[in-house]
């Protein structure tokens, strides 16, 4: 019987879509079960005209009234939503792990008002799902899923979604990166842009040691100067992205594309810091260089930077400090 085939196919599709919703979507985003396509195929496959008519009538009159039954396994010939395992970010394991459904409920207990029970609209269901990491069996995660006919929406998470943070994102400012991603994922684009700008600003402040009332441009210039010369021009520029993010923040623009590009470029910058092994501390270049390099520094750039002339440099060259450095170099 084709109605049973439709129900079985709808159940399978719903389970796949629910998996996609839990794994890939964020608050107030949704997935769609393509019921129209399944029905069309089943009606077309039917040979007898009267059955075609019957199926069409059933699909418009009966099917919308049917409720998904939450189950462990798909049930043949019934409208079931078999709860899938899902690959989710585990806050305890700090990576994606396999999660299994352990508890579930479909709001199914009507409240009686003065002896009158209010019916829910056709195709309306709210599911509460509880999932647990199968690696650490830590504290479970809760999801609120809203069904509106063939749409499944993610309408709640308990606790709040924990965004994945790449290993190269600095630990100290990672909360700003995480909040940027959560705000963006929840559709709060200007908040996401603000957190993203604050993320690079706070990192640059820490690395440069600049505090208090300093403009973003000054911080970013100082940060750029502190980057090692051979690498700095290969890396996406924080100054450039700070400027672009500031511009959209002033106009409070819902610029989804800018957030995505800025985030990708900022991540690339941090990944390159990791590849080039750039320290988060930025001591004066002289402090980190070995003895030979120090003497080279004293001979050239150090003096030029402070505007010391040739005569003065020659005088210093014969001081005990210079003599010690030269001795050190020869040994
Ligand atoms: Zn875990």
**What's the pLDDT score for residue 164?**
84
**What's the pLDDT score for residue 119?**
86
**What's the pLDDT score for residue 207?**
94
CA gap 150, 18 in Å, rounded = 11
Assess contact for 325 and 291: CB atoms under 8 A: yes
Determine the distance separating the centroid of ligand 1 and the alpha carbon of 319, expressed in angstroms. 64
pLDDT < 50 regions, the chain: 283-331
Beta strands in the chain, from DSSP E residues, in sequence order: 30-32, 69-71, 80-82, 86-90, 95-106, 112-113, 116-117, 124-133, 141-148, 151-158
Q: Supply angle C-alpha 251, 256, 257, rounded to 5.
A: 105
**What's the pLDDT score for residue 300?**
39
Determine the distance separating the centroid of ligand 1 and the alpha carbon of 13, expressed in angstroms. 28
Task: With CA atoms as reference, report the closest residue to 15 among 85, 62, 78.
Answer: 85
Determine the distance separating the centroid of ligand 1 and the alpha carbon of 101, expressed in angstroms. 14
What does 237-263 look like in DSSP terms, one character per residue? Answer: PHHHHHHHHHHHHHHT---HHHHHHHH
| DSSP-assigned beta bridge partners for residue 127 | 106, 145
Determine the distance separating the centroid of ligand 1 and the alpha carbon of 92, expressed in angstroms. 5
Q: Provide, for the chain, the percentages of residues in helix, strand and coil under a 3-state DSSP scheme, each rounded to the nearest 5.
A: 50, 15, 30
Give per-residue pLDDT as tens, 80-120: 999 999 999 999 998 899 999 999 999 877 788 888 888 88
Determine the distance separating the centroid of ligand 1 and the alpha carbon of 97, expressed in angstroms. 6
Determine the distance separating the centroid of ligand 1 and the alpha carbon of 100, expressed in angstroms. 11
CA gap 108, 106 in Å, rounded = 6
Determine the distance separating the centroid of ligand 1 and the alpha carbon of 180, expressed in angstroms. 24
What does 31-98 look like in DSSP terms, one character per residue? Answer: EE--HHHHHHHHHHH---HHHHHHHHHHHHHTGGG--PEEESS--TTS-EEEPPPEEEEETTTTEEEE
Q: Is the dihedral of CA 278, 279, 285, 290 positive or negative?
A: negative
Both tokens of 261, joined, read: 């590009």
Determine the distance separating the centroid of ligand 1 and the alpha carbon of 95, expressed in angstroms. 8
Determine the distance separating the centroid of ligand 1 and the alpha carbon of 83, expressed in angstroms. 19
Determine the distance separating the centroid of ligand 1 and the alpha carbon of 137, expressed in angstroms. 6
Both tokens of 124, joined, read: 């309306």
Determine the distance separating the centroid of ligand 1 and the alpha carbon of 9, expressed in angstroms. 32
Determine the distance separating the centroid of ligand 1 and the alpha carbon of 141, expressed in angstroms. 11
**What's the pLDDT score for residue 78?**
83
Determine the distance separating the centroid of ligand 1 and the alpha carbon of 94, expressed in angstroms. 7
**What's the pLDDT score for residue 282?**
53
Determine the distance separating the centroid of ligand 1 and the alpha carbon of 98, expressed in angstroms. 8
Determine the distance separating the centroid of ligand 1 and the alpha carbon of 213, expressed in angstroms. 43
**What's the pLDDT score for residue 108?**
74
- Of all residues in the chain, the percent with pLDDT exceeding 70 is 85
Both tokens of 292, joined, read: 């030979």
Determine the distance separating the centroid of ligand 1 and the alpha carbon of 40, expressed in angstroms. 42
């Amino acid at each position: 019987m084709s109605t049973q085939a439709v129900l079985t196919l709808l159940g399978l599709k719903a389970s796949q879509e629910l998996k996609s919703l839990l794994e890939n979507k964020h608050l107030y985003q949704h997935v769609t079960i393509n019921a129209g396509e399944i029905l069309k195929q089943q009606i077309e496959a039917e040979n007898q005209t009267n059955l075609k008519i019957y199926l069409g009538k059933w699909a418009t009159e009966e099917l919308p009234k049917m409720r998904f039954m939450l189950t462990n396994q798909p049930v043949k010939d019934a409208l079931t939503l078999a709860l899938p395992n899902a690959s989710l970010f585990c806050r305890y394991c700090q990576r994606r792990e396999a999660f299994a459904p352990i508890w579930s409920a479909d709001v199914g207990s009507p409240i009686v008002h003065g002896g009158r029970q209010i019916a829910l609209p056709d195709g309306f269901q709210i599911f509460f799902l509880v999932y647990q990491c199968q690696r650490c069996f830590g504290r479970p995660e809760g999801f609120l899923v809203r069904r509106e006919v063939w749409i499944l929406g993610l309408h709640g998470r308990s606790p709040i979604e924990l965004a994945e943070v790449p290993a190269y994102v600095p630990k100290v400012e990672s909360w700003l990166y995480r909040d940027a991603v959560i705000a963006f994922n929840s559709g709060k684009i200007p908040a996401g842009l603000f957190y993203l700008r604050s993320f690079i600003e706070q990192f640059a402040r820490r690395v440069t040691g600049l505090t208090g009332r300093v403009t973003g441009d000054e911080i970013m210039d100082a940060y750029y100067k502190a980057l090692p010369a051979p690498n700095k021009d290969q890396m996406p520029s924080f100054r450039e992205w700070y400027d672009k993010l500031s511009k959209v923040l002033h106009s409070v623009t819902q610029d989804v594309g800018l957030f995505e590009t800025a985030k990708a470029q900022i991540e690339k910058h941090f990944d390159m810091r990791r590849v080039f092994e750039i320290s988060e501390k930025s001591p004066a270049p002289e402090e980190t260089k070995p003895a030979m390099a120090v003497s080279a520094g004293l001979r050239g750039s150090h003096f030029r930077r402070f505007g010391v002339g040739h005569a003065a440099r020659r005088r210093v060259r014969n001081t005990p400090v210079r003599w010690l450095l030269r001795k050190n170099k020869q040994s």
